Amino acid sequence: MLPSLPTSATLIPIDAAGNRMIYHSLGAAALMSLSDALTAAAASASAVHYAGIGARNLDGHAEELLAPARARGALITCDLIAPGPDSAAELRRLLPHVDVFMPSAVEARFVTGEADLPRAARALRDWGAGAIVIKNGADGAIAIDRADRLQVVPALRIDRVVDTTSCGDSFCAGFIAATLRGRSWDRALRFAAATASLVARGPATLGVLETYEQADGIATAASA
């Protein structure tokens, strides 16, 4: 609790094509730091998704959160929010503790300096992550697994995009949920794409997403 600071807030206006602008007020979240309680919670979790790169009090210390969790067998995933000039250096420290790194195409190009997404994915693998998934909007995703197999994960076609807010986050969440249920790498990626497609079909951060079974049915039908 930081009572002297306002709560962080984000305003995201959406146009008729589903495109968005993001206006964010940093607030108290910008000063989040590690605590014994947070580290203990991460170490006892089955999965930890880290998206705090760029946070003033976390950069340079996040491996203290992730390394114990990974040592205990947790699935460690990582994403970016708004990479800055120091993000590449932080990623080089962090990615050796990450099982799957899932940036957007814009973010991957920014931090690696590579315009070609497969080259950007391989550069990020060289920084130490176990596997890479680069989310690329309507063009799906580029993925490199632990065996260094490169593949394109197609996006699911939908009749009308209503709101793309949290599509990237929902892709990550779908991948994590499917992996924790024992799905294979390929199946988890297809499930992630199905989850994101359900979010894009409706307003706000959940769209028309309701259940795991709903997304699983869409992923199954798309791969048939």
Q: Are 128 and 96 in contact (CB under 8 A)?
A: yes
Pick from 8-22, 132-146, 190-204: least confident: 8-22
Domains recognised in the chain with CATH numbers: 33-153 (3.40.1190.20), 156-224 (no CATH)
Statement: residue 56 has pLDDT above 80: yes
3-class SS at 77?
A: strand
Q: What is the pLDDT of residue 18?
A: 63
Encode pLDDT of 72-104 as tens digits. Answer: 999 999 999 889 999 999 999 999 999 999 999
- Residue 115's alpha-carbon distances to 106, 141, 160, in angstroms, are 9, 15, 29
Distance of CA 217 to the CA centre of its chain: 22
Residue 197 identity (one-letter amino acid): S
Q: What is the pLDDT of residue 146?
A: 93
Q: What is the pLDDT of residue 1?
A: 65
Across 191-206, average pLDDT: 94
**pTM higher than 0.95:** no
Across 33-48, average pLDDT: 91
Sign of CA dihedral 2, 3, 5, 6: positive
- Residue 51's alpha-carbon distances to 62, 171, 203, 214, in angstroms, are 10, 14, 23, 27
Highest mean pLDDT among 23-27, 38-42, 135-139, 190-194 belongs to 190-194
- Give the whole-angstrom CA distance, residue 222 versus residue 224: 6
